[in-house]
Structures are given as C-alpha cells and as structure tokens.
Amino acid sequence: MFEFPNMLPVFRDAHLQAQFEQTGYVVIPFYDEKQISHLNQFYRQYHPVDEEGFYASTYSRNKAYRAGADQEIRRVAAAAIEKNFQDIRVVAGSFIVKSPSPNSAMGVHQDMTLVDESQFTGINIWCPLVDLTPHNGVLKVLPGSHRIRPTYRGASIPDFYRKVRSEILRYGQPIYLKAGQAIVFDQSIIHFSPPNLSAESRIVTNIFFTHQDARFQIAYYHEDMAEKAVELFAQNDRFIVDFDQFGHDIKQRPTLGESLGEVPYDFPELTLQQLEERYGKLPQLTPDRQPSWWRRLVQAVAGSTKNQDHE
C-alpha cells in the first residue's frame, strides 16, 4: 500500500495550504450575489422541477446537461479559481441538489479515488447557492480523517470505516456556509449530509480539481479478483462528463478507461477504539435524544456504501 505523499501545493495562500493539509478542508469566499443568481437561473433552465431527493448532474443520462453544467460552472468560477489556486487542472463542474425530502440524506463516505493518491490529491470546491442551516442538508465532515490512512475507494470497494458508520455520524462537524462561500475539501475526508427538511431546494455547485500533473485514475474491486487487490483504470479528462455508470451501475467493472492491472490492497477496517483515540469518546446517545433525521440516516447508512458515487 502507498504512503501519503507531501502534498504538492495548490493554494496561493500558504496558510490555507497548511490548514487544508492538516484538517482536510478550508472555507473560502467563492461566488458573489450575481453569480449565485445566474447559476440558480442556469440550473432552473434544465430543472424547472427538481428530481426527488439527492441528485447530482453527474447522474444524468442527458450528456448535454452534464456537459452544459460542467462548462457553465467552470466559466462562472474561473476568476475565483484563478485567485485562490495555482498549478492545478480543473476537471469538472457539476450541480448537487437536495430537494426537500426525508430521503435526501447522503450517508457517511469518502469520495471515490480519482487520482493516484501516492502523489496527488483530489479536491472538491463545494459551494451552496443558499445559506446552510441544520435543516437543509448542511455538509458535515470529520476533520483530519483524510489522513487516518491511505485507501482505495469506489462503490465496489469495502469502505475502511464500514464498522463505525453510525458512530461517525455523531463526530461530524457541520460547516454552516453562507450562499457563495465554499468548502474546499480533500476527497478522502470522511463526510456526509443530513436530509433537506426545509421548504426550498438546496442547490450546490461542485468543482473537482487536482494538481496539473495528475491524471484521472479510478479503482475497482470484485470478489473474484486476486485476494487483497484492486484493479486500477486510467481515465481521460472527460471522465466525469462521459462516465455512464455514476448513479446507475456504479458497482460494476468500469466500461470506460484503460485497465492498469491490479495493485495490492489490504482492505483496512477502522475500529471504534481508533476512532475514539483520535476524536475522543462521545456520551451514550439515548433513543429519545436522537433526532428523527439522525435515526433515518443511521438506518440508511447501515451496511450501505455511497453507491451513487459521483466525484
């Protein structure tokens, strides 16, 4: 298994770079009011009516919509990206929307591996177009969890936190962003979001980027494979827009990309003890103190993976 590399700097501001490396995320101002309003209108052209629950544009079978969202989000974000980052390649923009629904939670996960993490870091700029509250699907993160251990990730690969999902729900820190503020996070940070129980849709733009020298690489596992290994696939820069398996048959062997063969992987398992050593012990939660969304999220994530990985 690989070791974590020294990260190649991508932030122009050295303090933000250091904070990002330490905690796995930082918060920055990103869109102004005009851009927020423009992106809302742009989204509404394609989606006069929202999909049910959690929906990302990368799930769409409509390639014109996927490509259109990608282009327009990148165009609008270009100045803020240039201001904040250096030596990067921006690979994809997408909408991530939660329409009001008790079924709109996103369970505990790390994002799928998209680059060779022995050298590079996959990064998301996740920016809501509305203020986030405890009721409309705020993003929660487990600070520093990007450095618990190196992993290969994908819907077909057992998650390393599979035994402690419901405990992680209680350690997550909500990031209450205002509309236009973005959280920039390492894709390997553990994160999740409760459902949107407000009356309005929660629309977010997500932009994936990485160091300019990195190439797309995804990982796949099947029980029939050689034991303790995953298969890697090289992908080109259009992967996020072209890959048909997001949101559909994401657990199947990739039909796009070039197999790079198998690499050893020991399928690590985070234990409750390790979690408590890092983050402290939490008090027992009695059933009457559990909010209903939390109970639903626990049920939703029990034994599940993020089976609709997008990026």
In whole angstroms, the minimum distance from the beta carbon of 194 to ligand AKG comes to 9
Closer of 88 and 204 to ligand AKG (Cβ): 204
Establish if 111 lies at the interface with ligand AKG (CB under 6 A). Answer: yes
Closer of 106 and 168 to ligand AKG (Cβ): 106
Size of the site for ligand AKG (CB under 6 A): 12
Tokens representing 237 are 């820069």
Closer of 151 and 193 to ligand AKG (Cβ): 193
Q: What are phi and psi of 223, to 5 degrees?
A: -55, -30
For ligand AKG, the binding residue among 60, 206, 235, 305 (CB under 6 A) is 206
**Per-position x/- string for 130-159, each x denoting binding to ligand AKG as judged by CB under 6 A, each - no binding:** -------x-x--------------------
- Interface with ligand AKG in residues 17-76 (CB under 6 A): none
Q: Which residue is nearest to ligand AKG (CB)?
A: 193
In whole angstroms, the minimum distance from the beta carbon of 168 to ligand AKG comes to 13
Establish if 127 lies at the interface with ligand AKG (CB under 6 A). Answer: no
CB 252 within 8 A of CB 245: yes
Give the residue ranges of DSSP H helices in the chain. 14-23, 33-46, 63-84, 165-171, 239-242, 272-279, 292-301
Closest by alpha carbon to 11, among 259, 211, 260? 211
In whole angstroms, the minimum distance from the beta carbon of 126 to ligand AKG comes to 6
What residues contact 98, with CB distance under 8 A and at least 6 apart?
53, 54, 55, 104, 136, 137, 193, 195, 196, 201, 202
In whole angstroms, the minimum distance from the beta carbon of 105 to ligand AKG comes to 8
In whole angstroms, the minimum distance from the beta carbon of 98 to ligand AKG comes to 6
In whole angstroms, the minimum distance from the beta carbon of 141 to ligand AKG comes to 10
CB 25 within 8 A of CB 182: no
In whole angstroms, the minimum distance from the beta carbon of 76 to ligand AKG comes to 18
CA–CA–CA angle 81, 84, 88 (5° rounding): 65
d(CA 288, CA 181): 35
**Per-position x/- string for 154-193, each x denoting binding to ligand AKG as judged by CB under 6 A, each - no binding:** -------------------------------------x-x
User: What torsion do the CA atoms of 47, 53, 54, 59 make, to the nearest 10 degrees?
Assistant: -60
Establish if 204 lies at the interface with ligand AKG (CB under 6 A). Answer: yes
- Pairing mode, strands 216-220 and 202-211: unpaired
CB 119 within 8 A of CB 223: no
Closer of 18 and 181 to ligand AKG (Cβ): 181
The 3-class secondary structure across 149-202, one letter per residue, is CCCCCCCCCCCCCCCCHHHHHHHCEEECCCCCEEEEEECCCCEEECCECCCCCE
CB 167 within 8 A of CB 13: no
In whole angstroms, the minimum distance from the beta carbon of 114 to ligand AKG comes to 11
Kindly list the residues in this chain that would bind ligand AKG in the complex (CB under 6 A). 96, 98, 106, 111, 124, 126, 137, 139, 191, 193, 204, 206
